[in-house]
Amino acid sequence: MNELFAQVLQKRDLSKAGELFSLADDEIKDDLVPVLEAISKILDCTDYLQNDNDQSVVEICITRVTTAIRETGSIEAHSKCLVSLLEVCQKYDLNPAAPEKDPPHAKIASDIMSCLFMHYSKPKVMSLAIPVVVNFLRCNNKELTRNVSSYLSLAALDNADTLAKYVDLIISTILRGNYFLSTVLPQIYSQNKQPIINSIDKLTAIVDLCDVSERASLFQVFGMISKHEPTILEPHIDEFCKYLSSSTLAALVLMMFVDMATANPKAFVDYLPSLKDLAEQQPMYFIQVIQIIGAIGNIDQDNARRSMVYFVSCLGMKDQTALAVILQEIKALSINNHSLLEENIIEISKLSQSGSSAVRLLVQQLKDDLKK
């Protein structure tokens, strides 16, 4: 070990600790492992909690070590030792005894995690760090758990497989009030679906308590669930409809409703008037509403007729993209309701000269369908 580091750590010489920053990074890079091991022994002493001198020595040494690791790009060589330090920290009380005053082990844990998660895109580092770091979610230190949540949210982008193993702990932490962690769920859902699906009732119950970004993350997850298990969301349609007035969430809710209506259109019959009102007031959502109405049209002949009447009433609109969607829904509806196409072909044919090639093609296809 470097002579100066040895003096500072072995003698707990705070007066010399500041001189560590005069050492070149390359001069100490080969000594970082024994330095970290020496720090671990100090951290794991019972009197560390009451020894201000030792705490200051460790804090300065950690800062110097993490700086050297960053500057020499040697995180992968030292991540195991850093994670071991986190495990030592977890043996001690991390909960603040007074507001604005973190316990010494919590301070060190925060510094180490900051160093590790600068390298969230390195799988080898994260495969060591994440299994240990998630355990900090169990403590009652709000500042620490907030930092951990931010780090895990960042790490989820490139390490979803690793993080998904801890989905039960993540969900329980969210339900205890750490709503920010809900931003992780869309990243890990596909790797470990069932625990999230099993918690759907509890997750829908906290939506009102979340901020906008957290709500958006939850609705992203609900949207993913709607593609595989749409019926389990049906008891919450009333609750979801409240968010159709949100400019941030309405599109997510409607896309989810499209999947749900495709699976079970009967669940949306009672919501038709409000959905039509939404499409009229907010034309940007018209296409999703049309798709839901199309799904409802497949329930029976009466609903098919009502859907067709609505589709035909909308053929005068100028939005060519929306017109193409309407015609696609008419085409799908006509497969089992040929007479409805025959009754409305004159109105549909008025679009034969449309400026949109997609619209003209669909009109021609409908005319051809009528001849079959």
DSSP string for 82-148 = HHHHHHHHTTS--S-SBTTB--HHHHHHHHHHHHHGGGTT-HHHHHHHHHHHGGGGGS--HHHHHHH
CATH number, span 1-155: 1.25.10
**Confidence at residue 372, expressed as pLDDT on a 0 to 100 scale:** 73
291-302: average pLDDT: 96
Q: Band the pLDDT of 371: cuts 50, 70, 90.
A: confident
> pLDDT (tens digit, 9 = 90+) per residue, 146-188?
999 999 999 999 999 999 999 999 999 999 999 999 999 999 9
- Distance between CA atoms of 161 and 195, rounded to whole angstroms? 15
Question: Is the full-model pTM beyond 0.85?
Answer: yes
How far is the CA of 96 from the CAs of 58, 99, 109, in angstroms? 19, 7, 14
Domain ranges, ordered by start, for the chain: 1-155
Provide the pLDDT confidence category of residue 2 given band limits of 50, 70 and 90: confident
pLDDT at residue 102 greater than cutoff 90: no
